[in-house]
Structure formats: structure tokens, C-alpha cells
Amino acid sequence: MACIRKRRGKWVLDYYDQFGKRHWETCSSKKEAEERLAEVLLEIRAGTFSPARGTMLFKD
């Protein structure tokens, strides 16, 4: 399941990966969000998806 919505002036894509973990990303335009979501869904279906990590965990 995935969706694109506008939140606080930015476009947010919200989706679940192949393991059922929820992810969300922000984009500046709806078109950019739609293109990114298409890429992500293709990677998830192919089994090659790996989320980008923007923050470090405490153990790192």
C-alpha cells in the first residue's frame, strides 16, 4: 500500500517495503513524488529495495 499526499506544504509519499516496514519521504512537487514512488515500488517488487538512512542509530 502506498499513497501520496500534501502535508505542511510538501508532498509526502508513504509506503511499506517488502518486509512490511513503513517508510515516508518528502518531495517538493507532486510529479517528483509520483516518479519517486514509481521507482520505489519497482524496486520493492524486484526485491532490490534498500531504504536510504538519513539518521544514525544509537548503536552506530
Q: What is the CA radius of gyration of the chain?
A: 12
What is each CA distance from 15 to 10, 25, 58, 59, 60, in whole angstroms? 16, 9, 25, 26, 26
pTM: 0.74
Instruction: Give the mean pLDDT of the chain.
Output: 87
pLDDT at 41 over 70: yes
**What pLDDT, on a 0 to 100 scale, did the predictor assign at position 47?**
85
C-alpha span between 43 and 38 (Å, rounded): 9
- Cα torsion 35, 37, 43, 48: sign: positive
Reported as a pLDDT band with limits 50, 70 and 90, residue 50 is confident
Residue 60 pLDDT > 60: no
CA dist 6 and 18 (Å) reads 24
Residue 4 has a pLDDT of 95
Look at residue 38 in the predicted model and tell me its pLDDT: 94
